[in-house]
Structure 1
């Protein structure tokens, strides 16, 4: 495969990847502001969040941690490079790398689990806040609203 063709394939793959990986992302230039539900009229904070998406993304983080666990460094790889089978310097470097890889693996899984937990907490807070806002709007309609019978419309 020629080098130019390889570069073209890489660019196409990067372009496909960039268009798929937008999760609850606000557009770079929202125009007049406001969320898409407000019609861009302003007054909103410009963030539109889907509750199912928040829960789905937190589940996705846990799934990534599980996949990382399945693909963790194998302990047998380190035993094949021990002193009787390899040079002592090589065995020391392999052991050092294995410990480093295990440490990085532990940090990554802990980070994914913590992010998932925070995302679930955020979902709960967002739902509570939405409920308070909706309740306030309903109370405002009930307090200041005026009933008009169908015959008078």
Structure 2
């Protein structure tokens, strides 16, 4: 393909794209605010438990299965160095980096597992706190339901304000 032909094809493609503008997003549903339903971040305890459990399983499998190559690679690297091969230093470097990266990955799995456990506990405590606060408000609000008389009317317990005003004059 010649350069001129390539430029011509690019110009034609750009012309076709400008005729059909497309936005890469989901269209709005209904009025303002992005739609009729609001999304909440929901994570059940079982979801968090699964994530934490999988992270813990991966943590253990990495220890059992991924570090198998480490000792044999290090031994092979030492053997190659003793025999005068420069490949031994390269293999030793790879083995060292493998162990470092494996440790980082295991730390990340441990962090995820622990974080899910802590998150589950924190949110459970938050839920208990919010429930307690709301029930306190409901208890306080129920005290206002014991009205004397019609809503909006002055409470007769406090006396007749109009009569008190006339007595003052």
TM-score grouping bracket, smaller chain normalisation: 0.5 to 0.7
Alignment counterpart, residue 134 of structure 2, candidates 119, 132, 137: 137
**Residue 77 (structure 1) shift:** 3.3
Query: What TM-score does the superposition give when structure 2 sets the normalisation length?
Result: 0.54
Give the unaligned 5+ runs of structure 2.
Answer: 1-27, 29-33, 147-169
SS of aligned partner of 2:66: coil
Q: Aligned partners of 1:102 and 1:31: how far apart in 2? A: 50
How many residue pairs match? The answer is 109
In structure 1, what is the equivalent of residue 90 of structure 2?
A: 93
SS of aligned partner of 1:138: helix
Q: Aligned partners of 1:140 and 1:56: how far apart in 2? A: 35
Give the unaligned 5+ runs of structure 1.
Answer: 1-28, 36-45, 148-153
Q: Deviations over 1:83-119 (max 9, x none)?
A: 2786521111111100110010011101211222122
Alignment of 1:1-153 (within 5 A): 31-32=35-36, 34-35=38-39, 46-73=40-67, 74=69, 75-81=71-77, 82-83=79-80, 88-145=85-142
- Tell me which structure has the larger Cα radius of gyration: 2
Query: What TM-score does the superposition give when structure 1 sets the normalisation length?
Result: 0.59
Dislocated runs of 4+, deviation >3 Å: 29-35, 84-87
SS of aligned partner of 2:41: coil
